[in-house]
């Protein structure tokens, strides 16, 4: 019996680790999305087509089309989907449209003056921005904002007396508390809004606290992975007595603790049920407005994994403090960075997953009061949570980054190599032929897929793709690229290059190697006179 159980466990573990790439996509039979083709692959399987979409290095692939009515079969990869184009699917016999499921809707909740009342401001407000629409469901249609926790509410169905500054919920909604000097109007608690794109919804939450609270959190949001410990910390500025901790909903205490110190070990292994709003205050504090609040976010997968509920897929690397979404595997990039891996730095005042919004306008600060995002907390869809904009830190987001710090909330530390220097906004500023978050990469990336080919008895063939691309870490333009074979070996079959656009940030060469043992050498070069170049080898191995 013992041997049978052990075998079953080992077999089950092996099955769980099998990557089913197709399961990450929704399927639409005999339909296509018009003009949906950024990269065409021929002669690949459906599973390989799905894998290439997930791991495509040159762009964020959101959908693909797989044609079974042709020989060889054709795979079209695309950076677009129905929501991004606003286009409906079209009937196409023999074509199957696959779209990534549960992608994150680009939504930001801007919290102006997160600590209230602010001495020089007579009001505070929230601004919710989304790529398409702000959801105004029945529960919070009045202001498009929902109460997740508040210390007190008025008699108007649980809403603060506030003024909505716009008459539309399309892309932008702002709610203003006219006078935050009166206790009855202090908006202390956790508030949320939701961005909607097609049938997808992403909720974003933020925290406002009293500036006079004697206990404040070290951070308004804390993100942990499934199975990680949860330890809450406070900064002490006054008061005495034990600390009362409560996990709260809008009107109910879900759990409570009491400690002598100013930290709380919630659990050594986080579960999804541990997620929520944690409120703390001195036991002898009479004014319940003087509370600290931390919102705990629990990813439903262990560290480095995504794909709820199985969590069998490996997360991409999310640079500069980005977080891997536990459902889709997309990087939720911190304010000031964008790209598939959050590798591209925006201008200082820009934010959004495409750096499409900025603080230098009336949409956020009102009459350009804080054009550099000072005193503005930016909150993104979970699992990211909230942080200050690049270059600022602290609960009120008005303390500049110290030396060696950079990024949103100054949470990142520079580790610049190869002569790079640290900038509080962008991080490492590289010199010469070096690039990357720590100046650890060369200018170009040259990749062969698959990395080698094994033949047996002179059989075995496969298409090989050699891709040369600029590392997109910075804002600099990519020069015209050339990828070619640089040895003098025997001519190859079906050699073709793509894309045709001269200004593309990448260039690829696809070919079919001869069925014989060989070492092929390929090179990448730039046509800007800089002398940048790189080379890679591809080996055909096996027995004849």
19-100 in CATH: which number? Answer: 3.50.4.10
Backbone angle region of 129, left / alpha / beta, with phi > 0 → left and psi within -120 to 50 → alpha: beta
C-beta atoms surrounding 19 within 10 Å: 15
Q: Where are the beta strands (DSSP E) in 211-286?
A: 215-217, 221-224, 230-236, 243-248, 253-259, 263-267, 276-282
19-100 and 107-298: identical CATH topology: no
d(CA 8, CA 363): 59
Q: Where are the domains of the chain?
A: 19-100, 107-298, 443-543
In tens, the pLDDT along 469-513 reads: 876 544 456 777 888 888 877 777 677 777 766 556 778 888 888
User: What pLDDT does residue 365 have?
Assistant: 46
Counting residues of the chain whose pLDDT is more than 90, the rounded percentage is 28
User: What pLDDT does residue 476 have?
Assistant: 55
Query: Higher-confidence residue: 166 or 542?
Result: 542
Fold exhibited by the domain 107-298: Immunoglobulin-like (2.60.40)
Decide which of 2.60.40.10, 3.30.930.10, 2.60.120.560, 3.40.190.10 is the CATH code for 443-543: 2.60.40.10
Q: What are phi and psi of 119, to 5 degrees?
A: -55, -40
In tens, the pLDDT along 200-251 reads: 788 999 999 988 888 999 999 999 999 999 999 998 767 778 889 999 887 6
Per-residue pLDDT at 353 exceeds 50: yes
User: What pLDDT does residue 529 have?
Assistant: 66
Region 130-157: mean pLDDT is: 66
Under a CB-based contact definition with an 8 Å cutoff, are residues 147 and 153 in contact? yes
> What's this model's pTM, rounded to 2 decimal places?
0.71
Could you tell me the pLDDT band of residue 144, with boundaries at 50, 70 and 90? confident
Q: Which two tokens stand for residue 354?
A: 């495409």
Q: Where are the beta strands (DSSP E) in 352-443?
A: 357-358, 376-380, 385-388, 392-393, 399-400, 405-406, 412-413, 421-423, 427-429, 434-435, 441-442
Per-residue pLDDT at 115 exceeds 60: yes
Beta strands 344-345; 337-338: pairing state: antiparallel
Region 5-15: mean pLDDT is: 28
Per-residue pLDDT at 441 exceeds 90: no
Q: Which of 64, 71, 74 is nearest to 97 (CA)?
A: 64
| Lowest-confidence pick of 142-146, 287-291, 404-408 | 142-146
User: What pLDDT does residue 272 have?
Assistant: 95
Could you tell me the pLDDT band of residue 152, with boundaries at 50, 70 and 90? low
Please, what's the b/e burial string for 25-40 (b: 16 or more CB within 10 A of its CB; e: otherwise)? beebeebbbeebbbbe
Across the chain, what does the average pLDDT equal?
80
C-beta atoms surrounding 248 within 10 Å: 22
Q: What is the CA radius of gyration of the chain?
A: 27
d(CA 16, CA 10): 10
CB-facing half-sphere around the CA of 172: CA atoms within 13 A: 7
Under a CB-based contact definition with an 8 Å cutoff, are residues 280 and 234 in contact? yes
Q: Which two tokens stand for residue 505?
A: 């940030």
Any long-range contacts for 501-507 (C-beta under 8 Å, 24+ apart)? 503/478, 504/478, 505/58, 505/469, 505/470, 505/472, 505/478, 506/57, 506/58, 506/467, 506/468, 506/469, 506/470, 506/481, 507/467, 507/468, 507/469, 507/481, 507/482, 507/483
Could you tell me the pLDDT band of residue 166, with boundaries at 50, 70 and 90? low
Q: What are phi and psi of 389, to 5 degrees?
A: -70, 170
d(CA 542, CA 544): 7
Q: Which of 452, 466, 454 is nearest to 511 (CA)?
A: 466
d(CA 133, CA 93): 33
Per-residue pLDDT at 180 exceeds 50: no
User: What pLDDT does residue 334 have?
Assistant: 94
Q: Which of 320, 341, 302, 458 is nearest to 389 (CA)?
A: 320
Under a CB-based contact definition with an 8 Å cutoff, are residues 317 and 333 in contact? no
d(CA 174, CA 65): 39
Could you tell me the pLDDT band of residue 362, with boundaries at 50, 70 and 90? very low
Per-residue pLDDT at 16 exceeds 50: no
User: What pLDDT does residue 525 have?
Assistant: 82
Per-residue pLDDT at 96 exceeds 90: yes
- The secondary element (H helix, E strand) that includes residue 12 is helix 2-16
C-beta atoms surrounding 471 within 10 Å: 18
């Amino acid at each position: 019996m013992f041997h049978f159980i052990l075998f079953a466990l080992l077999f089950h573990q092996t099955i769980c680790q099998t990557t089913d790439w197709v399961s990450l996509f929704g399927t639409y039979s005999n339909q296509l999305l018009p003009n949906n083709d950024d990269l065409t692959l021929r002669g690949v399987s459906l599973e390989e087509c799905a894998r290439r979409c997930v791991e495509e290095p040159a762009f964020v692939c959101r959908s693909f089309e797989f044609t079974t009515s042709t020989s060889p079969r054709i795979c079209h990869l695309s950076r677009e989907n129905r929501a991004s184009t606003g286009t409906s699917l079209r009937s196409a016999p023999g074509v199957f449209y696959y779209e990534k499921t549960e992608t994150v809707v680009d939504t930001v909740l801007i919290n102006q003056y997160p600590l209230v009342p602010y001495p020089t401001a007579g009001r505070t407000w929230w601004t919710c921005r989304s790529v398409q629409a702000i959801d105004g469901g029945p529960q919070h249609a009045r202001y498009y904002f929902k109460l997740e926790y508040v210390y007190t509410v008025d008699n108007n169905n649980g809403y603060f007396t506030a003024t909505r500054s716009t008459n539309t919920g399309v892309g932008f909604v702002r709610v203003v508390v006219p006078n935050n000097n009166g206790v009855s109007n202090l908006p202390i608690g956790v508030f949320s809004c939701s961005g909607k794109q097609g049938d997808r919804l992403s909720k974003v939450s933020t925290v406002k606290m009293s500036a006079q609270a004697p206990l404040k959190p070290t951070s308004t949001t804390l993100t942990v992975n499934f199975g990680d410990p949860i330890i809450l910390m406070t900064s002490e500025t006054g008061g005495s007595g034990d600390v009362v901790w409560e996990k709260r909903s809008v009107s109910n205490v879900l759990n409570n603790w009491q400690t002598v110190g100013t930290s709380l070990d919630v659990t050594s292994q986080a579960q999804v049920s541990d997620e929520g709003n944690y409120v703390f205050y001195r036991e002898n504090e009479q004014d319940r407005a003087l509370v600290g609040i931390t919102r705990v976010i629990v990813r439903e997968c262990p560290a480095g994994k995504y794909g709820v509920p199985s969590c069998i897929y490996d997360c991409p690397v999310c640079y500069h403090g980005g977080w891997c979404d536990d459902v889709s595997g997309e990087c939720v990039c911190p304010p000031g960075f964008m790209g598939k891996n959050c590798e591209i730095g925006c201008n200082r005042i820009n934010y959004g997953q495409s750096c499409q919004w900025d603080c230098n306008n009336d949409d956020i600060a009102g009459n350009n009061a804080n054009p550099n995002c000072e005193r503005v907390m930016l909150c993104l869809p979970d699992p990211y949570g909230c942080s200050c904009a690049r270059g600022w830190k602290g609960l009120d987001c008005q303390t500049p980054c110290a030396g060696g710090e950079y990024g949103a909330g100054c949470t990142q530390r520079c580790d610049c190599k190869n002569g790079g220097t640290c900038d509080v906004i962008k991080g490492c500023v590289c010199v010469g032929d070096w690039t990357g978050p720590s100046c650890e990469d060369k200018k170009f990336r040259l990749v062969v897929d698959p990395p080698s080919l094994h033949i047996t008895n002179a059989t075995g063939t496969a298409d090989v793709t050699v891709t040369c691309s600029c590392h997109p870490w910075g804002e600099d333009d990519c020069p015209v690229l050339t990828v070619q074979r640089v040895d003098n070996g025997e001519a190859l079959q079906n050699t073709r290059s793509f894309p045709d656009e001269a200004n593309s940030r990448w260039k690829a060469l696809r070919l079919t190697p001869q069925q014989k043992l060989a070492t092929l050498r390929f090179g990448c070069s730039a046509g800007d006179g800089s002398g940048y170049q790189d080379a890679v080898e591809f080996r055909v191995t096996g027995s004849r």
